[in-house]
Amino acid sequence: MDADDESLLEALLAGEHRALARIISKIENRSPGYRDLVSALYAHTGDADVIGITGSPGAGKSTLVDKLAEAYRDRGETVGIIAIDPSSPFSGGAVLGDRIRMASAVGDMDVFVRSMSARGTLGGLSTATADAVKAMDAFGKDKIIIETVGAGQNEIDIVRTADTVAVLVPPGSGDDIQTLKAGILEIADVFVVNKADRDGAARTVQELREMVHLGEESGLAGGSGGHHGADVMSGGDAAVDETDDEDEGWSPPIVETVATKGTGVETFIDELAAHHAYLVDSGTLAEKVRQRHAEEIRTLLREDVHSLLEDELADSGGIDGLAEAVRLGETDPYSIASDVLAPVEACIENLETETRADGSSRE
């Protein structure tokens, strides 16, 4: 790490928001040296509670995140918000990155809001999102909230980054409930029926409750260790379904909120806290963190191997030349793949041999 990056890291750890912003920019742009910076951040992470907020367009995610941040600040906690925006087809950057997303956060230095581009990733999450979370965690933010672009099967990537995932559903959204069955049920730790003062809210709650029960019967439900039943909360009051007291696992509650008025936000926060406590007490949090690191390792290896293979392809005449050779019948894709991988495999074999030899000599 060069001297400038070391100074930047020291400034971040000292609590300078400008340094936090600059490091996230380096991470998102994959600037030279960003890997060394992220590596150095790891020693200072692990204290933040990471919350994912996803849901269908129009469900009121941004408004609820705004109220959530405001409520956390009232409790004396600091907040970092990563708002994942759709990518520009031209620049690849966040289309809505320059807008003021959170009205109550304006002027509050303890609420740090950053828009990041989805960059076309399937889960609506930039590959840099996890690293940006680490920067906020190392900075010392108590709560880190990730708001994703939308909902659907492709949104399940949020579970790889967040400890707790809340899925927002607007009232009267029968079609959305059907969509949720395709994949969101498995990742939801808390369901939120926002805009609960509108017609159709009670029906939506009932449909969600039935969906959760059906998921349990079929074995689909299990955002964080298995769901058994669903509680329904409304602005602080709870109507609890009858469930077997001996059931284990987490039951995803269904919370009713009116984000524009702040109704139900405290109840929502209580359910988020209850889920975090469940993760810690059950040991599930440690497993989630372990799986998260495993996925990070796989992602980095994929990126690095892909880069190495691109270099090998260039040395072999480029992909177009190889494709032309296949067209002419001179070779085939499988033979090309084997030839390109051969140097990489040889390098790995040599490394394994050296490692074994080094281990033997030490013995």
- Give every residue of the chain whose pLDDT is below 50, as ranges: 88-101, 120-124, 152-154, 225-230, 236-247
State the Cα–Cα distance between residues 74 and 82, nearest whole angstrom: 20
282, 305, 333: which is the final residue of a domain? 282
Residues 255 and 304 in one domain: no
Q: What is the pLDDT of residue 175?
A: 58
Q: What is the pLDDT of residue 120?
A: 45
Of 297, 322, 328, the residue nearest 310 (C-alpha): 322
Residues 246 and 317 in one domain: no
How far lies 170's CA from each of 56, 58, 146, 215, 221, in Å?
Answer: 8, 7, 19, 20, 21
Q: What is the pLDDT of residue 246?
A: 41
- Over residues 205-215, the pLDDT tens digits come to 888 888 877 76
Here the CATH number for the domain that contains residue 123 is 3.40.50.300
What tokens does 204 get?
A: 């939506």
What three-state secondary structure class fits 191?
strand
**Containing structural domain, residue 176:** 45-282
Residues 202 and 327 in one domain: no
Q: What is the pLDDT of residue 300?
A: 86
Q: What is the pLDDT of residue 276?
A: 96
Q: What is the pLDDT of residue 88?
A: 42
Residues 62 and 199 in one domain: yes
Kind and range of the H or E run holding 84? strand 79-85
Q: What is the pLDDT of residue 103?
A: 52
Q: What is the pLDDT of residue 218?
A: 65
